Chains A and B, each alone.
Chain A
Amino acid sequence: METQEDPWQTADGMARRLTMDGLTRLDTAGQVRAALATGWSSQNGEHRWEFRIRPNVHFHDGTALTAETVAASLTQSCRSGACPWTAVQAVGQTVVLTSDSPMPDLPAQLARAEFLIAHSDTQGAPDGTGVFQVTGFANGVMAFAANDDYWNGRPFVDAVELRPRRSIRDQWLDLSIGRADLVQVPPQMLHQAQQQHMAVTVSEPVELVALQLSATGALANPKLREAVALAVDRSALYNVIFQKQGEITASLLPEALSGYAFLFAPDRDLNRAVALRGGATSSVLTLAAEDGGAELQLAIERIALNLREAGFRAQVMPAAQSGQGQPDILLRRVSLEETQAGAALNEMLESFGQHGTASGTDTAALYRAERDFLAGHTVVPLLWLPRAWAVSERVRDLRLAADGSPQLSDAASEDTK
């Protein structure tokens, strides 16, 4: 298996997914299933939740999974980002999470990659209870072996080799010569992969490409932010840069998930953008792409051209300088893991620094919440993109999780590695 990213990156690095479990998990249909928690219940109007920890589960180094290690892991997770709860406590074999506001989607939220349970082994390395365990790292290859004592049964695959930080071109070359069984296919290269007769597995749209606009500085005026939103030509991004993959959107949720995304018009209105800008000579807008990927860099340069057509003075910060200073407009790629509309909206809002309070299944209420948020024009959704993987002919029964990541625990290979 080969990827471009850091395998241990906090959110959804592939090594984390292979070696760690969450208290809950989502099946391929997006339903919440038990994982390290055998059951859960809520009290006090969903302000308090109790999760019962699965007994007889051990980390790969032999340490027993306890409520205390779970609570410590969840507390550690909160240090790097926002958490829906305000306190975590280990009470006997249960972990109690409490919050000042209701947490209706907490079981689903705990299935996210960022809340996978881990502890530090004797050497200080992260260690989990996952279906695979790390056996070595040499010559840029991480080796994983099947966890024979996995609480949910041993996987079909005996071992996995992961080559991280590998370019797409090299991944595809390795796949073509049989050196790799599973490689990444960026959305904009799906067409190319198909032309090369690769076996490609594509997820539902799970990544939102959106502009995050600073509400201070040059774009402090909401009208200017609205002008920016109206000036962007989504169709050029969709048709050319991302090669007609995914879907054009002006919503924070995919149409299939929310059912109301069509109500947010993604059309470009250059005349109105020019009118809203008002002809004033604004200061230079700085634009940057979040992760510096080639397609996002190209997209932000295209958006800069769109803005110049609307009369803005736009300057794209080179990828190398994207981390220096806060740009006025940041092009981001945000993953969606939640499969329920309310939880998904909350997840997206939190991704953009807004505390999500949407709850229940009331579509109208969700629509209003999203509409109110987008009315501030601090976030401009552009495209929903799928995740795709190319697999070799030896791999059988590979399925993708709801967030588009491959579920290797259920896959098989003709000759076990």
Chain B
Amino acid sequence: MKPIDKRAGLLTRRQTIQGIGGVGLGLSVSGLAAPAVHAQSKRPIRFLNGETGKDTLAFFAMAAKLYEEKTGTEVIIDSVPLGEAFTKLTNGIRSGTPYDIGTTGFIGQVLLLAEEGHIVPVNEITDQYEWGNNILFPIDEKVYWYPFDYNLALIYYRKDLYEKAGLSVPTTWDQFATNCEATVEGRQKGCLFPIGSNGATNWMSFGFMWAEGVELFDNQWNVILDSPELAPKAAAYLDFMARLYPTMPTGSLQASYGDVLSNVVAGTVAHGAYAGRVIESAERDNPEIAAQLDVMPYMDSTGSRTAANHGYDGWMVMNTDNSSAAMEFMNWMTSELIVDFLHTAPVHFQPTRLDIYDNDRWRDNALIKKHSGMIETMRGLITDESVVVTSIDTQGPNPDVRPGKVFESFALPEMLQNKILRGMDSDEAVSAAAEKIRQAVG
């Protein structure tokens, strides 16, 4: 190369042209400027993750690295809080750069994307396993997601307070309310079930109503909440919640997921609904409380039936030109690494696949071992057909987007508020909620 002509500046015109030419040639050779060559190479798999716990993020980084080492295919993991995942997914679709795998915590979103052809069935993965009750939500026998946890909302209670007050585990509403009243002492309250218009209320506060046998729709999608058979049950549920309300801390109207979690973990309430995150948080922040926590399902008024409220999360394979590669990755991850994934939140990520409960490697985890009794209770809830496992957004004769609209309309939380906040007659509150549901589903 000629020496730089200092008199004419840093580079001569000839050197500049030669340099640009050289860079251009380099780019061409590297493939950046050769789309045809580039397209033939493996396209990265774009994975939108919605679980943002520290350990879960580390898991995905590890999984992506392992997969690239094994297959040469890069996996790009983008992580956002679950609540923002759907917007990001749909923005990707609209902008022409869809993700290849997405995460969702809402079956209504799965159905919506399936209806519009944005996701593909994952039967080739799900058909390999046996699953717990009411979790796959197939449409015409096609399964459109891989649910990785149940996230059942259950009632966590303090064994030490029960012992101190001479209480036994309740099986009826009356017993439960009595226990809540008996455990109020100073700043410590009896229970916390949110009643505001938010997702926390939808998830945590209606288990009692499901246990009582209340349903929102019949087989033809007619709203039956205010039917002669179910209206008295729903009204009785409201009366029961109104009895619980004075035993709750101030602020339960706006209580969020975090508020309930922190109250249970801090020991400021004797009962609170949540999923296994309670145990993980308590073990980390308040081990004394963790040792005193146990779990029970929601019960009905007579002690004849129990229920748990869905909170599930799952992965979907998007309908892109990379679907087959994404499916391969999903198949590999869910067969080879699912235990590692579940261990990132061992109690919270309650397995949906029944084989995992007997998997020695999954069982060989400190928290799972320590809380094995609780784990067995949770397992029983998803295998016992007599336990009602449902949620607002999975109501109805078959999977459909309509219950999702009911979920987002907050018709049921408003029913609670009408009763508790406005002192409305229970029957009237049920009728108003039924009417709002009818409007929401159109």
Partners in one complex: no
**B contact residues vs A (CB 8 Å cutoff):** none
